[in-house]
Structure 1
Amino acid sequence: MLGRLTYRATSQTSAIPIPAKPFSRLSKRLVAWLEKPSVKDAKRTFWIILIGFLLGRAVILMHLLPFAVPFLAVMLHWQKSKAKWALLAIWAGAATISVSFAAYAVGATIAYLILHRIITVLRPQSNMIPMTVFITVAAVRFSVISVQEGISSYGAMIAGVEAGLALVVTLIFFQSIPILFERKNKMSLRHEEVVSIVIFLASVMTGTVGWLLYNLSVEFIIARYLVLVFAFVGGAAIGSTVGVVVGLILSLANVANLFHMSLLAFSGLLGGLLKEGKKIGVCLGLLIGTGLMGMYGDNQTALSVSMMETGVAIAIFLLTPKKWIEHLARYIPGTAEHAVEQQQYLRKIRDLTAGKVEQFSRLFYTLSNSFSDVNEEAPGKEPGRDVDLFLSKITEKTCQTCMKKHQCWTRKFSETYNIMERTMQEIEDNKDVYDRRLMSDLHAHCIKHDKVIRAVKDEIGQIHANKQLRKQIMESRRLVADQLRGVSKVMEDFAKDIQREQKTHELQEDQISESLLKAGIPVEQVEVYSLDNGNVDIEMIISHNEYNEGEKVIAPLLSHILKETIVVKHTEKASLAGGAERLVFGSAKQYVVSTGASQTAKGGKWISGDSYSTMELGAGKYALAISDGMGNGKRAHLESNDTIELLKNILRSGIEETVAIKSINSVLALRSEEEMFSTLDLVMIDMQDASAKFLKVGSIPSFLKRGRQVKMIESGNLPIGMITDVEVDVVNEQLKSGDLLIMMSDGIFDGPANIENREVWMKRVINEMKTNDPQEVADLLMERVIREGGGIHDDMTVVVARIDHHLPKWATIPVAFEEKAFAKSSG
């Protein structure tokens, strides 16, 4: 029977219906292919159908249809599920022109689908869509012309022109369609992408050619509306570019419309130049352009009709919601909306980065605590428990094989336990059994006393080795804990710096601009980022800096306004064209440090066991350090140099000074079995308030000379590497301008052997110096010690620093506005 259904059994005893009608499966696939889109995609599907319909109608050069196949190709590649609606819309659009155009559209699209399928099967990994479009359009157009007019070179040329246009249009559609239909949280369009989108919109607009609304051309209204929108959003450059592109596409659709390219380009330029007048200014630019080109241009459209078309476009533009225009402006580079969008994106990235840094900071802090928790011995361990474990190991080696073990450990348990405990204590204290009474008791009680003594000695040796190993492990854990805690603190501070919000300083920016204008320096832009004391950050763009006005005028003026010294931190060209420069101003250091040093090795040799360094750290800190390795020569030099290098790297990473010294101590204590120690004398000077921290680890005193007074600064810490848990005493001292700070190694301090009170002698020598130049002081002190000591008997190093106020090159410039208001607002 024709309509009968047959069944085939499966392993689950179920049946699958197989249609007997030959076309039923094809009909079902067609129904599934044309199924209604979901509500979510209905809006996108509507726009695809509308665009496909207009592109199917878009005819250029009287009889060419170069947009239909490219649109189908891009839709098939970009969103295959919507390609069916694009295909039907193209057919419908072509059918509204004529039967011949509809036949051509159907033939070209079906030919493309077949050829695309063949190429996909043969070369699935290749992307040959543009070439496939070219071949399809060229073959179909040449075939149509050959059937109608016969084979000719003219037909080949026309087919080549249409295929070439289709190839270019395919590339443009590939770039513009995904941008229009895909929503992205962050997207900034390049100028090439903007032009591609405009070409796509103009191509769609070509489908409206011939439509009239009360004798007004719809394509001209849409074209002028596009020019208005882009001129208002992007300015003169974007407006004129859109006018040229749209006018060119219109002229391809109808050569008589070539005049409109000039009208639209000129109107886009005028509208962009008048965009400061908001929408009214842009509309005025289009009206002026339409009027001028209508009066003096050679066109086929009456001026009244052209003005009415402009009026309708202006009305639609004025009714366009502001939200839509702002949404478009987000993607156009150079607009205020785009800048806000970029700032929001950067703020999001900043918050995300700060969050990750904070997570790592918490992770390192947790790891530090986990290592710190095991630094101490576990509580609850009783000494008796350790003795029991020790004696159980001894008895296992000796008493288990003894025939008298039951007599000793059952009948005389207390006596045996006491003798074994006394033996263990005696050997632990004296390395052997020297107590005669204990030896007598042991001989009388145990028949294997020699074996017991050897076993106790071996076990105690293992215990001592285990204790040493545990000690090193504890120190390693302490080192890791300190390092992790320091890294956690650095990352926490870094996260806070990232999250620091930029404050608004509009009043201060206006006052600074006004003052500079009165001083004769025009300023294009002023941005105040921070007004915190010691951390001022101001950026401005001035029209020229040819006579160094930034340093000579602007910096002194800002110094007077902010009541602190401001200097130029950085300058750069603001643009490739013109002399405008971008200047960055910041707080100057209130104090400067000048240094001098002198060093010599024992006996005048080349390699000294002392090492020193002077370094400027971030955050306005200056550090001076001297390290003296134990002994002399190359090994001592390596020890002290390693200490200095470790210190420099750790301090520059931002880790706190005491943590840095403890970390260095742990590293030096763990890395070698030999007794190699080194001292460290470190001074940290704050360049803003001249406060100083002295951290002395095994080093000799330093001296501070202020006028005719000399003060000694000392601390009693042991050298680095000598003990595992070093305690760092910090001595704080407030320095003043003109102070001399003298740091030295023990070779200088202990050089004169015949001097009894070295502290008094050193103070007197420093006080007698008439110079305050740091290098001269270092050289004179070195020479005096060598002469008084009768030679170079040890490695000698002296480092001298002088602290001075920072004086700007140019005096401050008083300003005219009320300074109280500025100080109040900045606070």
Structure 2
Amino acid sequence: MQYGIDIETYKRETKQKQRVNLGETPIVLIGMLLGGLLISRVILHLNTGDATGIAPFGLAYLLAVMEKRETKTSIIVAFGILLGYFSIANSISDGYANIIVITLLVAYGFIIDKTNKTLKQPYMYIIIAVSYFFYGYIVSGYDLGVNIVIAIISTLIVIPVNYVIGYGTKCIQELKTNYFFTPEEIISMGLLVCLIVAGIGDINIIGISVKEIFAYSIILFVAYIGGGTYGAAMGVAMGISVGMSYGGGVLDTIAFYGVAGLISGIFKDTGKIFSFLAYLIIFFAISLYSRNLDIESLMEVFLAGGLFFILPKSFSEFIKLEIGPDKKREKVNELELNELKIQFTDRAKDLEEVLLSVSKTLQNIGDNERLMYKNKSTALIETLADRVCIKCKDKDKCWGHEFNTTYKAFEKLIGSYENNTIIFPNGLEKICLHKFDLIKGTQRIVDNLNDKESVRGRLGEGRRLIASNVESISMSIGEMLNDFNRKIELCQDLERMVRRGFNKRNIAYKSIFCYRDTNGRVKIKVTLESCGGSNYCIKNILPIINNLMQEHMSVGGDGCKINPQNNECIVIFQETPKLQLVSYGAIAAKDGEDYTGDTYSFGKTKDGSYMTLISDGMGSGPEAGKESKATVELVERFIQAGFSKNTAINTINSIMSMKFEEDEKFSTLDLNIVDLYSGEATFVKIGAVASFIKRGKKIKPIISNMPPFGLVDSVEIEEVKSMVKNGDLIINLSDGVLDINKESLGRYNWLEEYLVNASKDPKQLAGDILDRAKELSGGRVKDDMTVVVSKIYSVY
């Protein structure tokens, strides 16, 4: 590291909440312009005196937009509002006063932006009041007192409207974020949409109101997405907005739209068609009671229904996610879970990089050691001269005047002994007084050096082997990370359904968690008080879950897990597998041995599969048994922990190859995993002999030619897949069963023929195969024999 160099301070990168950046995209700007155009056209009819109505909504919308201090956006919105006010200038009193107010407000905002000062809302209200006052006094000719009252009333009405609209626009900025909207915020956004619809006005096409079509479709859509509560709220908001624009009948429109939204929302779970039918029926009922039912009104409802049906599903899902707290919580939980995965993955990747660095360092150390012996001959000559010549009276002559000759002679002498022959140089023969000591010294130092180099060579080979295996383990960590990052899907809808089912039947519980595992299978985790072993979960809870799921469910894993500290019981319910396996094993140790070198195991895994393993330790006896037992235990632990077969096998291969004995032993693995849901059987053979699937009288051999553990640095797994069904038998065995004599090595014809008419009972068949192998080998067991037979049964 170099000192004195300026290094930029490390800054942690933090993810900011995603926001909708208004004022950047053309589509958003166009939408805001149209919004300003339509909102400004909404008229609040007063029917008092000379005032036929006022339109404060455009001003309030402009004030809300200006608070964001984006001049470009404010100007575009103001242009849309001006167009709206021009269109209704003759329909409201002092209509052109609003145009003057808009112009002054935009000018004020522009000046504040250029001077970098703070935009103060009270000043904008003063601009509105003063503008109305001078317009009424100069243009309309109102009396002073009347003019002051009108200016104050017009300004005061803008204040609450600005609050509501500003509240709604701020909430719109939180769309597509992890923000959870309150019902009030959702209603404020809905009211903003209602004002836009009301601003359409009296636009008719062959007598059909465009405003009514959009009003009906929006209420229907919100009711279908959010249910009766949001449907009724949207109906009331739409009734207020549209009723005001009619100039009368506000209560009628509130009741009509509100009830229609409530009823259609109640039927949202029945689907779009029934939700629309419910809306249509309530429309008929209320229209017959309080309105005139005509063909135009019917056309408006049916056209609204058409819009409702053609809305894209993606848009529906987006709105459902935003207004549904449960859906959004599910999405946020998934994002948070992914963030945790990323943090864990980054740390594990750091470990992977560290292991790779360790591997490279070990390899480099070996290279550096070779450099130490680059000048070996020089060191040997100096050592030999120090031992023999130091006491010689002629040393000054030999190593002084005749240095080059003496040096080359010593080099030749040492080189000859390294080649297993002693050749005493002629130059030394004539002048050396200690010939015998020189030869003995040469032998001694060369032998010592060879011994040291042999030890260093073995150490270097060990370092290279460790480096290779550390690198393999680091690669296995990368594969583990891929396994870890497999997606788990949360099931919030199912969780709510289960909660309702438990509450309805008075099932006391503490927590419920529903999800789909990496295989796409539903699992329901329930935490409740311990029942003390009375099988409460099977007797009371399982029938409820089966009824709710309409599927075969069962208690998964090892059943209930009880925490003795708080007396809580955790039970996981999962889809019941379609198949189950029953296995039996038969073993025989090699003649003369008390222990077998083979190890086998079988049983269910946590992911709903059935695993069978046989490992044959090379050789026989307890040492081979240790090798095979370690292999089986490691594979079981990796698979049960949820790691893939590739990760498990390559990691175990790296571990098993880290041996330094001269008589190294290796182990084989015969692994087969049956998916109990689909019936797919996967066979992986690492140096193992053939397996067989027996279906009636048909015998299917399963073979692979992969080497045993530890012979190669990395294992390229060859999987053999086959479908199994009810009644099939799977036969796994070690090589001692097939290799009954020298002629049968690697062959399995005799067993294939024997299985055709063999027993279908797995326990009996395992013993029969072992007895037949002993019989064919002359009653002797020449190698450890292991047979595991599994039979498949259909559950449903």
TM-score by length of 2: 0.48
TM-score by length of 1: 0.47
